[in-house]
């Protein structure tokens, strides 16, 4: 079967479930945060600005260079561009926390990026997609419903964040008892979901993942490397640098799948790229976090 004729088993119900899983993970991170963590960022916003530039400017540019260098088929190229145009996923908050990085900065980046994605994501898709002749032919008018994005932000990020921080402030004793079990449970649920989604599409991945695997791995490595390089060049602290690195390398591929099915007819090449990204960035992110967590990051 031609890759662009593939329709993956990602139903609307599956995507809703995925959002719910990520919301649980967001809560498990939030119960380890306090309002003072966010006040420090507002007083010193440089790291936040660098992180957003890394995600919305540097990563799309690096992606375009990767596409020009490797010249993949148009649907795969557009899938890479679309993933790069998405905001960071809140899986990055969990991974940053495990890496010993600035989780409050990571959450702030995710929040700003997700809201900004209402405008920036379609602009980046149109801009970088139109600069490459093969993908220009695939582009059509793309619009993101602000209300849908606002609901997603509220359910996946804002609500669990507020609940977690509030619980930590008002019931510190309780959060101290449930913090570790909640984080372990949320991680277990996420791993189960990833394997279930992979099993539902196993035959497709066996057939087509090989054609995009090397590109996805290289793309993800570029994202992590670009975030680390920009954070280093702008002299961010190691604590903030870990957050920026991970936030740039962990993209909201769930949103990418929603856009692909909603606005590109579930185009097979794009969908396989986004689905492969969703699995690989979790594996690479957790591996990177394990390496980073071996040493404490100076603040």
Give the H/E segment covering residue 61.
Answer: helix 59-70
Nearest Cα to Cα of residue 297 among 101, 75, 38:
101
Query: Residues, the chain, total?
Result: 299
Once rounded to an integer, what is the mean pLDDT over residues 194-215?
Answer: 73
CB 287 within 8 A of CB 250: no
Percentage of the chain exceeding pLDDT 70: 83
* Residue 233 CB coordination number (10 Å): 9
List, for residues 229-280, the tens digit of each pLDDT value.
999 999 999 999 999 999 999 998 877 877 787 677 777 788 888 888 888 9
**8 band by pLDDT with thresholds 50, 70 and 90:** low
Give the H/E segment covering residue 26.
Answer: helix 12-30
Q: Write down the pLDDT at residue 294.
A: 87
Burial of 159 (0-12, 13-18, 19+ CB in 10 A): middle
Answering whether pTM is above 0.85, one says no
CB 31 within 8 A of CB 168: yes
Does domain 3-292 correspond to CATH entry 1.10.287.70?
no
Q: Write down the pLDDT at residue 231.
A: 97
Ranges of each domain in the chain: 3-292
Once rounded to an integer, what is the mean pLDDT over residues 196-209?
Answer: 69
Compute the distance between CA of residue 243 and CA of residue 299 in angstroms, rounded to an integer.
12
Q: DSSP state, 4?
A: G
Nearest Cα to Cα of residue 92 among 237, 218, 245, 260:
245
Distance from the Cα of residue 85 to its chain's centroid: 10
How is 88-113 classified by DSSP, letter by letter? BPTHHHHHHHHHTS-HHHHHHHHHHH
CA-to-CA separations, 289 to 93, 100, 219, in angstroms, rounded: 11, 8, 18
CA-to-CA separations, 269 to 176, 183, 208, 217, 265, in angstroms, rounded: 45, 34, 9, 16, 11
Nearest Cα to Cα of residue 83 among 265, 241, 272, 210:
272
């Amino acid at each position: 079967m031609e890759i662009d004729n593939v329709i993956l088993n990602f139903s609307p119900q599956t995507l809703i479930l995925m959002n719910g899983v990520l919301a649980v993970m967001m809560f498990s991170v939030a119960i380890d945060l306090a309002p003072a963590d966010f006040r420090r960022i507002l007083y010193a916003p440089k790291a936040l600005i660098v992180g957003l530039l890394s995600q919305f400017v540097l990563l799309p540019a690096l992606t375009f260079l990767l596409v020009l260098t490797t010249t993949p088929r148009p649907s795969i190229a557009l899938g890479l561009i679309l993933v790069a145009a998405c905001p960071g996923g809140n899986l990055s908050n969990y991974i940053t926390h495990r890496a010993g990085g600035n989780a409050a900065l990571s959450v702030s980046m995710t929040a700003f990026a997700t809201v900004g994605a209402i405008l920036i994501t379609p602009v980046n898709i149109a801009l970088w997609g139109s600069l490459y002749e093969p993908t220009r032919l695939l582009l059509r008018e793309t619009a993101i419903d602000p209300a849908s994005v606002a609901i997603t932000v509220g359910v996946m990020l804002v609500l669990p964040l507020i609940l977690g921080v509030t619980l930590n402030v008002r019931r510190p004793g309780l959060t101290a008892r449930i913090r570790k079990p909640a984080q372990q449970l949320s991680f277990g649920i996420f791993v189960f979901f990833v394997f279930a989604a992979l099993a539902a599409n196993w035959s497709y991945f066996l057939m087509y993942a090989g054609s995009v695997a090397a590109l996805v791995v290289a793309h993800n490595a570029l994202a992590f490397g670009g975030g680390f390089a920009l954070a280093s060049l702008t002299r961010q602290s190691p604590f903030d640098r870990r957050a920026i690195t991970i936030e740039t390398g962990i993209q909201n591929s769930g949103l990418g799948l929603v856009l692909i099915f909603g606005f590109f007819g579930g185009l097979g090449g794009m969908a396989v790229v986004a689905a492969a990204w969703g699995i690989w960035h979790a594996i690479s992110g957790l591996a990177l976090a394990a390496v980073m967590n071996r040493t404490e990051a100076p603040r």
